A and B are shown apart, each in its own frame.
Chain A
């Protein structure tokens, strides 16, 4: 029985290898909300690659929380390319020596083919009159946002609010902490991830406002145009999801060329347009302008570097005993 099983396994492996010689297969390890976009993009790319290089290529996608996806690549999931939510997650892979250093200059715009930001999603009519971050600290407003301690994406929500508070109180840290403390005391449900928070807000009808990724908010409004509306705060944060080739695996799988083409093609006009259609902000400015009615381009966007870079931010806010614990009364 065991022999039989191992024979089947071995023959499967053989078939798989044979396929690989006729056809290039690359694995893209990505994060949760990009699922729909990459399904569409892979089709576009597969056609483009066949036309330009003559090779057939198949892209396998994998999605999950950005942090845990990075972890799975470090632990040996054979990704050829990673397209993750945070540059920091790719740095973790770089530290495991799977990605060569300098990856963030390998492609245009710091290897971020698309960006996104944090906006507010409210129920139609905006009963509580939420316009900006300070409205979130008002009494009686119920906020849904995921836990920054368990979801990397949720850190952006915190940081955007923190940056607003900094502008408001001239970087007086005590006042900023009080502001965030008030804001987070209005959080009624803290889910473990962004998708969970969206479910809580949309499906379970909890809360007045969801602090959400712009692309998730756009998707929700497109799906339920009569029930929700998007409110753009005056200040938010620019999230730069990053892409990189996992050199170690790509060299081993002999997919370096296809992987490079796959990520480069993300910057093409067609792909950039598709990016905009799926609710992400294209990194190409001309294409971005075409979507000016979809994205509020007047939001003042800070970057994580304005706050001292990701490592600094993590140490300061999100480790045990950091500012987040302090303001949330952990």
Chain B
């Protein structure tokens, strides 16, 4: 009886045809494009013995790199969430001259080769650069510090947040706001109690995407961070490149593996938050 049920569950007749074909293609693509490379990372890193592995990933400079990568990506993603929301709001709610152009500009960080972005940012923010010069007078050193690193991550992460929020904001029924207004809610209350909860899942998605991108970023970061082990401005992807340059695949993949695991859990956590969130909104 039970077995029959399970069988029925697996071989359910579907209303929409083409399940076998599309699922097959999905699995094939996933295996070749994502799973296979990930498994080879695992296989390569197993060339180290567990003690070697442990000793490697707990080295001071590598731990520092993990700290720097995660900290800067998290800060950059938070800042992106804040400004991304404002940007999306402006693009969705108002009509103004050049709106389309501004909308198109958002995607530029995607299209620009990251190394170009990195070199440009480091020049702009170095203490002889256009933005760096006035900031130096204020006592702020941006290029070759963690601050510069975070700015590079903000640059590459902003499109993720804006593009995640935009469609949700577009589809947000204005009746909710009207109802809140009629019921006498203040503007701030309307925003925090009505609009923000609706945006929260999209914000979390944007945060997750920007964070994931930031943590693996290489090109734009290495030119502006200064890569100093002493000032702890080395990121994980830089350490991995160091290992690769000496053809040390095992260490490089071992560090990558730890990074993957950390990222996976952080993203999983974000996903769980999101699920809780949508459950709560659906129950109300």
Chain A contacts to B: CB under 8 angstroms: 65, 67-68, 70-71, 74, 92, 147, 149-152, 188-192, 196, 199-200, 203-206, 314, 318-320, 325, 328-330
The answer for the CA separation of A314 and B119 in the assembled complex, in Å, is 30
| B247 touches which of A67, A150, A330 (Cβ 8 Å) | A67
The answer for the CA separation of A317 and B144 in the assembled complex, in Å, is 25
Contact between B227 and A147, CB atoms less than 8 A apart: yes
The answer for the CA separation of A314 and B143 in the assembled complex, in Å, is 31
| B144 touches which of A71, A188, A320 (Cβ 8 Å) | A188
Of all chain A residues, which has the CB nearest B246?
A67
For B247, the chain A residues whose CB sits under 8 A away are: 67, 70-71, 74, 92
B90 within 8 A of A: no
The answer for the CA separation of A319 and B251 in the assembled complex, in Å, is 12
Q: How far is the CB of B178 from the nearest CB of chain A, in Å?
A: 48
Contact between A330 and B60, CB atoms less than 8 A apart: yes
B174 within 8 A of A: no
B61 within 8 A of A: yes
Q: How far is the CB of B57 from the nearest CB of chain A, in Å?
A: 11
| B229 touches which of A152, A199, A328 (Cβ 8 Å) | A328
**Which interface residue of B60, B126, B251 has the most chain A CB atoms within 10 A?**
B126
The answer for the CA separation of A191 and B143 in the assembled complex, in Å, is 12
Which 7 A-B residue pairs are closest in the complex by CB-CB distance? A205-B128, A204-B126, A67-B245, A150-B242, A330-B61, A330-B229, A189-B226
Q: How far is the CB of B145 from the nearest CB of chain A, in Å?
A: 10
- CB proximity to A under 8 Å, residues B212-253: 222-223, 226-230, 238, 241-242, 244-247, 251
The answer for the CA separation of A150 and B207 in the assembled complex, in Å, is 31
| B126 touches which of A68, A92, A205 (Cβ 8 Å) | A205
B150 within 8 A of A: no
| A328 touches which of B230, B238, B241 (Cβ 8 Å) | B230
Contact between A320 and B59, CB atoms less than 8 A apart: yes
B109 within 8 A of A: no
Contact between A150 and B227, CB atoms less than 8 A apart: yes
The answer for the CA separation of A227 and B60 in the assembled complex, in Å, is 40
Task: Give me 13 other A-B pairs in contact (C-beta within 8 A), A191-B226, A328-B230 excluded.
Answer: A70-B247, A147-B227, A149-B245, A150-B227, A152-B245, A188-B226, A189-B144, A189-B228, A191-B223, A200-B122, A204-B123, A204-B128, A330-B229
Of all chain B residues, which has the CB nearest A196?
B223
**Interchain residue pairs with CB less than 8 A apart (17):** A65-B245, A67-B246, A67-B247, A150-B227, A150-B241, A190-B227, A191-B222, A191-B223, A192-B222, A204-B128, A205-B127, A205-B128, A206-B127, A318-B246, A320-B59, A325-B61, A330-B61
For A190, the chain B residues whose CB sits under 8 A away are: 226-228
For A319, the chain B residues whose CB sits under 8 A away are: 246
For A196, the chain B residues whose CB sits under 8 A away are: 222-223
The answer for the CA separation of A206 and B226 in the assembled complex, in Å, is 11
Q: How far is the CB of B93 from the nearest CB of chain A, in Å?
A: 40
Contact between A147 and B61, CB atoms less than 8 A apart: no
Contact between B144 and A206, CB atoms less than 8 A apart: yes
The answer for the CA separation of A205 and B127 in the assembled complex, in Å, is 8
Report if A192-B241 is in contact (Cβ < 8 Å); known contacts: A206-B126, A328-B229.
yes
The answer for the CA separation of A189 and B238 in the assembled complex, in Å, is 15
**Which interface residue of A203, A205, A320 has the most chain B CB atoms within 10 A?**
A320
Of all chain B residues, which has the CB nearest A318?
B246
Of all chain B residues, which has the CB nearest A205?
B128
Q: How far is the CB of B129 from the nearest CB of chain A, in Å?
A: 7
**Which interface residue of A70, A71, A149, A151 has the most chain B CB atoms within 10 A?**
A149
The answer for the CA separation of A58 and B230 in the assembled complex, in Å, is 47
For B119, the chain A residues whose CB sits under 8 A away are: 199
Of all chain A residues, which has the CB nearest B115?
A196
Q: How far is the CB of A229 from the nearest CB of chain B, in Å?
A: 19
The answer for the CA separation of A325 and B228 in the assembled complex, in Å, is 12
The answer for the CA separation of A192 and B229 in the assembled complex, in Å, is 12
Q: How far is the CB of B229 from the nearest CB of chain A, in Å?
A: 5
Q: How far is the CB of A146 from the nearest CB of chain B, in Å?
A: 9
Of all chain A residues, which has the CB nearest B60?
A330
Q: How far is the CB of A85 from the nearest CB of chain B, in Å?
A: 12
Q: How far is the CB of B128 from the nearest CB of chain A, in Å?
A: 4
Q: How far is the CB of A142 from the nearest CB of chain B, in Å?
A: 11
Of all chain B residues, which has the CB nearest A149?
B242
Q: How far is the CB of B191 from the nearest CB of chain A, in Å?
A: 42
Q: How far is the CB of A208 from the nearest CB of chain B, in Å?
A: 13
Of all chain B residues, which has the CB nearest A325?
B61
The answer for the CA separation of A95 and B143 in the assembled complex, in Å, is 41
The answer for the CA separation of A194 and B238 in the assembled complex, in Å, is 15
Of all chain B residues, which has the CB nearest A185?
B230
Of all chain B residues, which has the CB nearest A187?
B228
The answer for the CA separation of A195 and B84 in the assembled complex, in Å, is 35
Report if A203-B227 is in contact (Cβ < 8 Å); known contacts: A67-B247, A68-B244, A314-B246.
no
The answer for the CA separation of A205 and B227 in the assembled complex, in Å, is 17
Q: How far is the CB of B78 from the nearest CB of chain A, in Å?
A: 28
For B59, the chain A residues whose CB sits under 8 A away are: 320
Of all chain A residues, which has the CB nearest B226?
A189
The answer for the CA separation of A95 and B271 in the assembled complex, in Å, is 46
- CB proximity to A under 8 Å, residues B94-144: 119, 122-123, 126-129, 143-144
**Which interface residue of A188, A200, A204, A318 has the most chain B CB atoms within 10 A?**
A204
Of all chain B residues, which has the CB nearest A92?
B247
The answer for the CA separation of A228 and B194 in the assembled complex, in Å, is 62
- CB proximity to A under 8 Å, residues B229-284: 229-230, 238, 241-242, 244-247, 251
